[in-house]
Structure 1
Amino acid sequence: MPTPHQSRADHHQSRADRRRATEARILDGARELFAERGFDRTTIRAVATSAGVDPALVMQYFGSKRELFTTAVQAAPAPPPDAGPDTLVDQLLATLGLKLGGLPEGTLAMMRSMLTDPAAADHARAALGRQIDGIGAALPEDEDPELRAALVVSTLLGVSVGHQMLGLSPLREAPADRIAALLRPALAALTTPAP
């Protein structure tokens, strides 16, 4: 029999797990809907329905539709703290594959705006900062985790900009899996501690 203390700890852990699972379901639904409908035609209610939650919960977790959009489309899911470097690299490349598959016009507009509109820049900075924090938390603390995470995020952002906004021929003509295969060793080097 677990002691009452263990029982509370188990309950607390499962509640945290449930929250993470719910956030992941919301983000998955949001990614699909934003890709299919674009930013303007995607509603919080539709995202909530696809995730099987109340719309108020979506707002509680993400604050606004714009924040949800930025998180869902631009930010990689934070890997679990005990994930190995391979799992982290897989998640990063999966997110890049989503972007290379074609971003909705709303995302492109936001990416264009983040360089000229201070409000859009603040939103992008906050979303990228959360992504850097999530990736950094999965890296060894004695290996410049925040700097390594910022380099990973900046690299992936640069590839997305070159592919989606600038239409650089070598990026546009290469299959997403080839781009991922070439990037994998670079991302692995940034996320794996030195020997």
Structure 2
Amino acid sequence: MIRLFTALEVPDEVAERLMRLQRGLDGARWIERPDFHITLRFMGDVPEDIADDIDEALSEIPMAPFDVELEGLGEFGGKRPHTLYAGVKLSEPLRILQGRHESAMRRVGLKPETRNFTPHVTIARLNRVETDAAYSFIRANSPFAAPSFTVEQFTLFSAKASTGGGPYVPEKRYPDFGWEE
């Protein structure tokens, strides 16, 4: 079994802005710079042969470059926040790309995603953070914005099976332009 998800990678200039936020919240478990991403579709733990089908399905997804913009801070968990994130403005190209990922994964035989797509970059896990402190942090650092950036590819990542997942390993980028790192 391998744990997989697809995402957009965050460029260094934007990651630096996010890292500047990572202080002043006791008990937060800050996400490491290499693990910043915008999830498109979480597949979960899949058998190796299904991973091959996923790769094939992803290679057929058309993608034209488009701009991504981060704006605002938020949390998941409501009255007991567990995740702190920077929001991503939902554009039509991003919505379409995410929908193509969802459709491709259903064709492969994965169950439909049950959560609404809320594009974001996780910046901290808040398991040991008081609720009031989390909301005070969001207010103190708002409004938040980062320079927009252009995405030309999406990435298939693998993750270790644990809460919070990282470190994440980029397995393949699509479309594959044959670039070497």
Q: For this structure pair, what is the TM-score category when the shorter chain's length is used for normalisation? A: under 0.3
**TM-score for both structures, normalised by structure 2:** 0.27
**TM-score for both structures, normalised by structure 1:** 0.26
**RCO comparison, higher one (Cα < 8 Å, 6+):** 2
Which has the larger strand fraction? 2
From the CA coordinates, give the structure whose radius of gyration is larger.
Answer: 1
